[in-house]
Amino acid sequence: MSDGPRSTKIVSRPPVAESMRRIEEAFAEAPTDTGGDDPHLPSAVEEPRAGPSEDAIRAAEALIFASGTPMTEKQLSEKLGPDVDVEAVLLTLKRRYQGGVLLMEAGGAWRFQTAPDLAGLFAEKRTEPKKLPRAALETLAVIAYHQPATRAEIEDIRGVSLARGSLDLLIEIGWVRPRGRRRSPGRPLTFGTTDAFLAHFGLSGLDSLPGKEDLKALGLLEGRAAADIEVPRPSDEPAPDEEPLSADGDGEGFFVDHLSDKDD
């Protein structure tokens, strides 16, 4: 038997079949390691991080809204718990509040505030109350406790002449009003306090004015003065020698409109 040369049979593969085989082998040999316990190896598939829960968002919203001062992320974290991503919660709220109310960060703390372009809606105009001079305060006290009181009676109690401006000022601010005329020669005007006076000082009526014991407790009456003085109790009722102002030219409005006219 002769050992002649052997021939090798070469099997050719179609180009398309060969390409498919290589693709299959590449996928079959791909590593399936997702990183294991080594934190430096990236995971083959990273799951998307879940956003903050609606409960956490609502809770943070309520905390910031109710807080009297801006809240830091640390303060929010202490309230919401360690499992809540406070940064994500705040970013979500910031995206939601883009209208008339904004969630703003200042100095590392968060707060709600109105949009700057709406500032004009909250502008207030306040009239500063006039500071009453001492003479006007004394005049007011005399009228409050001795009403109805005439100009002469006010001067007699105070011991000095009544400056026209003191009485005019009290009438102008609405705390004192002409209330009648004495049935005496010259029929002088009598003055009393108004409802605006009671409202300003938080009094339900003239009977709520501080009495003698109240003034002593406040330190306004001491020693001999407290023993000698009697604090009158005024009334809204007309006095026996007082007649109400008439409506035809002798009313309260006439006097107020002619403050510059002297009337004794």
- The pLDDT tens digits of the residues spanning 22-65 come to 656 655 554 545 555 555 555 544 555 567 899 999 999 999 99
Sheet holding 189-193, edge to edge: 189-193, 176-182, 242-244
Which residues fall within 8 angstroms of residue 166, CB to CB, at 6 or more apart?
Answer: 133, 135, 136, 139
Which residues fall within 8 angstroms of residue 209, CB to CB, at 6 or more apart?
Answer: 144, 145, 203, 233, 234
The answer on pLDDT for 91 being more than 60 is yes
Per the listing, tokens 């990273």 go with 46
- Residue 244, token pair as written in the block: 């109400």
The band of 119, judged by pLDDT with boundaries at 50, 70 and 90, is confident
Of 29-33, 128-132, 159-163, 172-176, least confident by mean pLDDT is 29-33
> What domains are defined for the chain?
54-118 (1.10.10.10), 134-257 (1.10.10.10)
Of 15-24, 85-94, 97-106, 127-136, least confident by mean pLDDT is 15-24
Query: Tell me, what's the pLDDT at 16?
Result: 57
Stated pTM of the model: 0.46
CA distance 2 to 169: 146
| β-pair type (71-72, 109-114) | antiparallel
The band of 263, judged by pLDDT with boundaries at 50, 70 and 90, is very low
Of 7-11, 65-69, 115-119, 147-151, least confident by mean pLDDT is 7-11
